[in-house]
Amino acid sequence: MRCQSSLPFQERNKTAEAAKMANTEKRLRILIAGAGIAGLATAISLTRISEIANLDIQLYEQAAELREIGASIALSPNGLRTLEKLGIDEALGDELGFRGPSGIPQIYRHWKTNQVVSVDTFGNVPDRRHQTARFHRGHIHAALAKHVPKEWIHLNKKISRAESNDDGVALHFEDGSSAYGDILIGADGIRSQVRASFYPDYKLRFSGKVFMRSTFDASLVEGKIPDLPADAAHWWGTNDSFFSSRLGKGQYTVVGAYDDGRSAEELERSVTWDQVGNVQFLREKYKDWHPVIKALTELTPHARLYPNYAGESLQTWVPASRVTLVGDAAHTHGGAFAAGGSLALDDSRALGLAFKHVFAAGGSSFSPENIQQALKLYDQTRRPHTARLLSIVHGLMNRKAPTFATPEEEDEALRSRMRSRPDLLWLSEHDVEKAFQQVVAESEQRNLDTQGTTRATQPYQKAESVVASSALGSKL
């Protein structure tokens, strides 16, 4: 049997057209677990990036209403470029997101002196719309939701388990109902039930940090604090840190990240994600920091708690032939480097590119083999990239706090650490489409090498067959 690439052009074209007709007649049902940023972006990508007509996409969200919990979110150039490709143009301007007046993505300041010690920089971002921007998480979520038909989204659907076999996939919900389809995409966050169904032994690890976040009207602090930085500012202390920035649509955010000495088990019992926090605790925690920070905490009206967890890199994002993961469900990195939103967006884009390559451009049918090929291309594009990030995250978590002889020695070590932060342009300006094309090229080269090896061995196999037949004939 000849592979499609070896067919004459006209015959190959007929095969692709036949597959497209078959795909038009058969609706591929895709179940997406979760309708947060990752789930919505994936639904949009599968309809716009993949260029496949007639997809039946259904999203299942545990919340009673479609809203994104959390506070602020930063999107770096890679995520903003993907938003543009997805057609979410309203998120690229200056109304929804905030970009600092200096053009610097983030400024790192000393906790006590407020001195600028280090800054982030851009590598190659000529379009201002792609420069790092900061949003209220709900505004980005709402912008994505506008592009997903409401009838695709099913609320109050808390997943109890997921299943898959050679013929299809299933989601089972706590209300006793179930949903069935051809492909399942787990976009259900750091405590993904889809991931747990296929990786029951997967564990999250508490980083030792708890984040206190708050988002509020910028008028509460702007014009009321002398020397309040106009750009996004990240103050580093020896163990703790504090972040502040304006957001789009007149919002402001502060984030205090502090060491929590409780064990993971104790924390699990006492603190839940998005729990209301004690703003007085935030003020007490930073009362000895620079007056700008102290003033920010005193004017912060409320705060919510977010314990920080990270998970190890998965061996594959395709735990079953019809199942894959996106966003935090695939790479639980604890929000390090504010990369989570952009990573989720790039996941969605890579999945759309894989579907386009296999089903739209390639003209392949929705067969189990081709579904697995598309998911495999997606996995090979994204998993190594996020594994690199997770390696850095766990390296930082494993780092032992040094001891110092004097406060001056401790302070110099802090400044040195701030100046020697890892270069993350490979992360913030990652070109997911280029990475995908490289994976495709490598895959096609492997196929050519395999075909070449097969053709090279065929004459020898034929000769061996003739010799064997002659020997058998002589015995007869």
Residue 39 and residue 154: Cα distance in Å, rounded? 12
Domain 26-445: assigned CATH number: 3.50.50.60
Residue 71 and residue 417: Cα distance in Å, rounded? 28
Please report, in tens digits, the pLDDT of each residue of the chain (476 residues total).
333 333 232 333 444 444 444 455 578 999 999 999 999 999 999 999 999 988 999 999 999 998 766 689 999 999 999 999 999 999 999 999 999 999 999 999 999 999 999 999 999 999 999 999 999 999 999 999 999 999 999 999 999 999 999 999 999 999 999 999 999 999 999 999 999 999 999 999 988 899 999 999 999 999 999 999 999 999 999 999 999 999 999 999 999 999 988 877 887 888 888 889 999 999 999 999 999 999 999 999 999 999 999 999 999 999 999 999 999 999 999 888 899 999 999 999 999 999 999 998 767 799 999 999 999 999 999 999 999 999 999 988 888 778 788 899 999 999 999 999 989 999 999 999 999 999 999 999 888 877 766 565 555 555 444 433 444 344 33
Residue 418 and residue 177: Cα distance in Å, rounded? 52
Q: What is the DSSP string of 205-220?
A: EEEEEEEEEEEEEGGG
What is the domain partition of the chain in residue ranges? Answer: 26-445
In degrees to the nearest 10, what's the CA dihedral of 450, 455, 459, 460? -10
Q: Name the amino acid, one letter, at 116.
A: V
Q: Which H or E run contains 386?
A: helix 368-398
The DSSP output letter for 98 is: B
- State residue 466's pLDDT score: 41
- State residue 452's pLDDT score: 66
29 CB burial (10 A radius; 0-12, 13-18, 19+): middle
Residue 165 and residue 389: Cα distance in Å, rounded? 32
Residue 30 and residue 138: Cα distance in Å, rounded? 25
